[in-house]
Amino acid sequence: MNHSQDSTQTATDAALVELRSIRGTIDNLDAVLVGVLAERFKATQRVGELKAVNNLPAGDPEREQRQIERLRTLAAEAQLDPEFAEKILNFIISEVIQRHERIAEELRTGSHD
């Protein structure tokens, strides 16, 4: 192996070490994200139960719009694409509403899956 190949191999090895380190950070952040989502869904579960018991609608479009606007602002401040953040929140809101509807249905029918 000549000097040029040694330099290339050293650079590649260094890049692989850095790549592993960055991926480790990403893995840790993914774990945090899952934990935060789990906590959020525990809170929305309680909201869904309160709504069902009090015969309130599963969705709250005004609140949802305020949350979207708030999240877009937070995303921009964090240098994250606000449209991307809105897509994520819309997905979460959709899932929450489905869960709230399921909770209300279970309360009406007395069934628990």
Q: Which structural domains are found in the chain, ordered by start?
A: 3-109 (1.20.59.10)
Instruction: State the CB neighbour count (10 A cutoff) for residue 104.
Output: 19
Separation of alpha carbons 72 and 65, rounded Å = 11
pTM as predicted: 0.82
Summarize pLDDT for 26-61 with one digit per residue, the tens: 999 999 999 999 999 999 999 999 999 999 999 999
Three-class SS state of 7: helix
Instruction: State the CB neighbour count (10 A cutoff) for residue 71.
Output: 18
Query: Which amino acid, one-letter code, is at 97?
Result: I
Query: Which amino acid, one-letter code, is at 64?
Result: E
Three-class SS state of 62: helix
